[in-house]
Structure 1
Amino acid sequence: MSLKRPDRAAYYCDLAAKLQASALTGYWETLKKIDSTNCLDIFIFSHLLALCIFWETFSLPGADLGTLLERLVGCIRLLRGIDVVLQSWFECLVQTDLGPIITQSQILTTAENVSQDECRGLREMLSQADLSASSIQTCQESIDALQKYLDYENSVDFPSASTHQAFSWLITTSEDFTNLLDLRRPEALVILAHYATLLHRRRGSWVIRDAGYQVLFHIHGYLGRRWDQWLTFPYDVITGGTPHPSQDSCASPAVTQ
């Protein structure tokens, strides 16, 4: 509503914050006693909560990379909590009204799709990375998962405004990889910049909008031109060009239209 009625945006955002705080009080208590009668309610509420927090992450003014990552990492950990609910109560959830959607989602994400190997450059980057063996393995696993989601997105005939599958990589990425993001490891940030292309495809959603653009330009501004060669793919997808210096990396251009 704050987007539909910008003249009353402050009122709606304040109201949303109060309602969310009130709802969370009951939510934390309910999480202590999940069973077959409430697992669907908890799953749906968790998803709605994650959408709201993701929107807040990219809508609050004055964000730099540090602030953005802090918000995003928090969002990732919340999204991962949704996956825990889904996996723990999967057999129960597929018996609910949401069952056909969950089952279809599983089929789509596990199907073999033709790959354009967009992550080829990321694998080359890792072969030259100054990282521990365990960190390289962590990044490699995240890249492999990201490629699968890119393959799925390429199988969709047209850009969608749906958030369905848009956050799947964030939900399933490991805690070790999240920690690398938290530490601002350049290799992890470049991988995140490639994920931004998935967000850009779903920019028609009120939740996502220019999030992909923000992620890419904050990362480029932080890493500098030395990492330009590894950011060519996301730049090409999101801006139609190659990385270039920007004095105002947060300015949202017409590519979000």
Structure 2
Amino acid sequence: MEFKPRRAHKKSRDGCVQCKERHQKCDETRPVCVLCATTQRQCSYLEQPLRPTGQPGGTSSVSNNPEAVWTVGVAAPPHVLEPVPSGEPRREENQVYALEHMVLLRHAESESAHFMMCDESSDALVSSICDLALTSQYLMDEFLALSALHLSVHDPSKHGKYSRMAVELQVRALSLHNPVTMELSEQNCIPRFVFSALLGLYVLHDTLSTIENDFDAFLGKFGDYLNLQQGVGVICKEFWHVISSSKGPAFFVSEEHISPDGSKLTSSGHACDAIEEMLMESILPPASLDTCRSATKWLKNAFRLFEIFSARGNRRVHAAIAFPVNVPPRYDELLRQKVPEALVILAHYGVLLHRCREFWIIGSGGKAMIRIIAAQLGQQWRRFMELPNAVVRD
């Protein structure tokens, strides 16, 4: 089997324990590194005392008030933490929300059609999220974080400023959300579901927009995204009777997304024909083969959902969410092991992402995903990659 060797891992000297254990490069952001923040892991930095801003070490202070804004340290990558241009007002740390946060809220409301890409229902969705966020600060922080991320893409001249704000707000949102101490219930499942859905969009954008030449890093980040989305699926299936009656969550998921046997969504088209042919010839162990077949079934359903939404003229870009929400947990393990069959399936998911490229969260990420996977697979897999490779050639 022709396959490129694993790249050497570049260790971070002062990275957190969690990133070192997972052999992933830590960006050393404090009080919680970005990777631990986005994957909701307990970061070892929280166990270390923080020095006030301006003291040696480049870390920032954090107020004893749990609602204080966290200021991310300068140890984060330059593209995440670019200094605020002179003349910009600096908020006080004891302010929960400042005027610049109102700018983010206004931006989300005024640019709802592009922000959420759900056509005629965008205004209603943003209004619904705002209503929920008024009662859950962690949700408001995540909503504003996504708005800041959108502004960082929408206004390149202020990319550094809004990228930094996005990270700050997301770190605080995750600290307030704290899934360890918040028991999921019918009373809080709606805001927690919307929070997880927004966080998923944030992490997907981060994963797709940073695909470079480090294949191991990409697989690690995408695996973390899958884990996060599977958590969304768990909430859906346990509290569907509550979620289905709410306006906001209905945008992110429909019954077709979570139908456990896929029977409520008839698959059609030929997007996954090559995958099915590949699996028929595969010599994978039975458990791994079953995982790939299950992943393929949900990918076919996602392609069909895209067709349905396209015919209706709304929400088509969010068909791409259906696959990661339902993909079997072991699929993530197969990706991390670089099992070729799992990678071919992921490349075909890249085709679906490419068809949703008008959504700013995705952009050119689908094509970039296909390109980096194709570069890793040997010649013997080329005949199963005709559809993804056609996307790269176009």
Give unmatched runs, 5+ long, in structure 2: 1-150
Q: What is the match of residue 247 of structure 1?
A: none
CA RMSD, Structure 1 to Structure 2 (Å): 2.4
Could you tell me which residue of structure 2 aligns to residue 135 of structure 1?
Answer: 288
Q: Secondary structure at the match of 2:153?
A: coil
Q: Residue type matched to 2:306 in 1?
A: E
Structure with greater proportional helix content = 1
Q: Give matches, 1:70-149, under 5 Å.
A: 70-98=220-248, 101=251, 105-107=254-256, 111-113=264-266, 115-149=268-302
1:178 equivalent to 2:178? Answer no
1:210 CA drift (Å): 1.0
Partner of 1:44: 194
* Map of 1:246 onto structure 2: none
Using the TM superposition, name which of 106-115 and 12-21 deviates more. 106-115
Counterpart selection for 2:214 from 64, 69, 74: 64
Q: Does 1:11 pair with 2:161?
A: yes
TM-score by length of 2: 0.56
Aligned-partner Cα distance in 1 for 2:176–2:168: 14
Q: Is the 8 A contact 1:160 1:204 kept in 2?
A: no
Q: How much does 1:119 deviate? A: 1.9
In structure 1, the gaps of 5 or more residues are 242-254
Alpha-carbon distance, 1:101 to partner: 4.7
- Percentage of identical aligned residues: 26
CA 1:95–1:158 in structure 2 vs 1: closer, same or farther (change >3 Å)? closer
How far, CA to CA, are the matches of 1:121 and 1:107 in structure 2? 24
Q: Assess if the C-alpha contact under 8 Å between 2:190 and 2:243 holds in 1.
A: yes
- CA gap of 1:83–1:229, structure 2 versus 1, over 3 A, is same
**Displacement, 1:158?**
8.7
Deviation at 1:169, TM superposition (A): 0.7
Q: TM-score, normalised by structure 1?
A: 0.84
Q: Say if 1:161 and 1:202, in contact at 8 Å, map to a contact too.
A: no
Q: Which residue does the alignment assign to 2:139?
A: none
Indicate conservation of the 8 Å contact 2:353/2:365, yes or no: yes
1:224 aligns with 2:378: yes
Distance 2:357 2:206 in 1: 15
Cα separation, 2, equivalents of 1:61 and 1:99:
29
Inter-CA distance 31–216: structure 2 relative to 1 (3 Å threshold): farther
Task: Give the number of equivalent residue pairs.
Answer: 239
Match of 1:33 in 2: 183
Q: Which amino acid aligns with 2:255?
A: Q
Using the alignment, how far apart are the partners of 2:328 and 2:265 within structure 1? Answer: 23
1:200 equivalent to 2:354? Answer yes
Amino acid at match of 1:125: M
- What letter is aligned with 1:175? P
Tell me which structure has the larger Cα radius of gyration. 2
Distance 1:4 1:161, change over 3 A: farther
Deviation for aligned residue 1:68 = 0.9
Query: Do 2:213 and 2:372's aligned partners in 1 also have CA atoms closer than 8 Å?
Result: no
SS at structure 2 position matched to 1:3: helix
Give 3-state SS (helix, strand or coil) of 1:207's partner.
coil
Deviations 1:134-178 (A, max 9, x none): 211211121122112222323423997754221211111111111
